[in-house]
């Protein structure tokens, strides 16, 4: 269902602010049919980018792509289903199709993830392996499949953060992590281990690929309201108590994650007037 702008991004981002920076740029997103990732992609499309989202569920992914395309007249959004990020060859095919049909891959959101509630004694070896494979290997496979395209984009769209860059940005990755492993979270040992690995990977990529113009960052959402994750992992009757543990007294929102994504993918500092 088409959404109002305020539902997926803040009004501080004017519709024309990134018209040159994002026009004809391409976002590739794993887990793109999910509540958080779809908001991230929708915001980028609203501001001028085109996109390719991938996911395991064919119908859900294709329908979400059509829905995201309503964010901007003329937007091109591809939805590729039946993509398991644990299978590098399938993910490579999706990345290649994205680049062929949309012209490039300039921005990557690695958002595919797996999670459930279980104590360490309840988590089977297969369950632990599955979460690690989806989160860590899935992120690795995403990087491997898109890195050549990101290097090409970074080379074309160089920015030094000082001079005005009319050509926009490119060659940027955002990993969607979590805060669970910062201080330990009950019933989340499996995903805590996986997200810690994702964080480590993101830092290594930033150091290795930075000289080539590629940036690598992590967005680590805490509890985000009205998402599939919060509905699955948190009981409604316990949420009032959970709010009290958050300094702001509320859960985060998907548009706050989208706002952070816009900032990390933009050359906003040199475009402020």
CA dihedral 41, 44, 49, 53 (to 10 degrees): 0
Q: Is 140 helix (H, G, I), strand (E, B) or coil?
A: helix
Q: Is 261 helix (H, G, I), strand (E, B) or coil?
A: helix
Q: Which residues contact 148 (CB under 8 A, 6 or more apart)?
A: none
Give me the catalytic one of 38, 139, 195, 255: 195
Helix pair angle (58-68, 35-46), 10° resolution: 30
* Assigned token pair, 174: 């955002």
Give me the catalytic one of 38, 177, 189, 192: 177
**Rounded CA separation 1/142 (Å):** 28
**Rounded CA separation 221/93 (Å):** 29
How would you class 108 by CB atoms within 10 Å of its CB: exposed for 0-12, middle for 13-18, buried for 19 or more?
A: buried
Known active-site residue 177: yes
146, 108 contact by CB (below 8 A): yes
Known active-site residue 195: yes
Q: Annotated active-site positions, please?
A: 177, 195
């Amino acid at each position: 269902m088409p959404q109002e702008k305020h539902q997926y991004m803040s009004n501080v981002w004017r519709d024309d602010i990134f018209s040159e920076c994002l026009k004809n740029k391409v976002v590739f997103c794993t887990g793109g049919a999910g509540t958080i990732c779809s908001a991230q992609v929708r915001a980028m499309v609203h501001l001028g980018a085109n996109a390719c989202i991938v996911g395991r569920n064919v119908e859900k992914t294709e329908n979400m792509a059509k829905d995201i395309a309503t964010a901007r007249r003329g937007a091109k959004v591809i939805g590729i289903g039946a993509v398991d990020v644990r299978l590098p060859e399938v993910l490579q095919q999706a990345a290649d199709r994205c680049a062929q049909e949309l012209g490039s891959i300039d921005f990557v959101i690695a958002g595919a993830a797996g999670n459930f509630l279980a104590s360490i004694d309840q988590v089977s070896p297969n369950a632990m392996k599955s979460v690690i494979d989806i989160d860590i290997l899935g992120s690795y496979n995403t990087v491997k499949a898109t890195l050549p395209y990101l290097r090409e984009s970074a080379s074309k769209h160089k920015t030094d953060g000082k001079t005005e860059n009319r050509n926009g940005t490119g060659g940027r990755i955002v990993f969607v992590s979590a805060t669970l492993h910062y201080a330990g979270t009950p019933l989340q040992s499996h995903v805590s281990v996986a997200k810690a690995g994702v964080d480590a990977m993101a830092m290594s990529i930033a150091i290795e690929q930075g000289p080539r113009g590629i940036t690598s960052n992590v967005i680590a959402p805490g509890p985000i309201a009205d998402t599939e994750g919060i509905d699955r992992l948190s009981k409604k009757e316990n949420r009032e108590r959970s709010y009290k543990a958050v300094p702001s007294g509320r859960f985060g929102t998907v548009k706050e994650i989208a706002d952070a994504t816009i900032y990390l993918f933009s050359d906003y500092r040199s475009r402020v007037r």
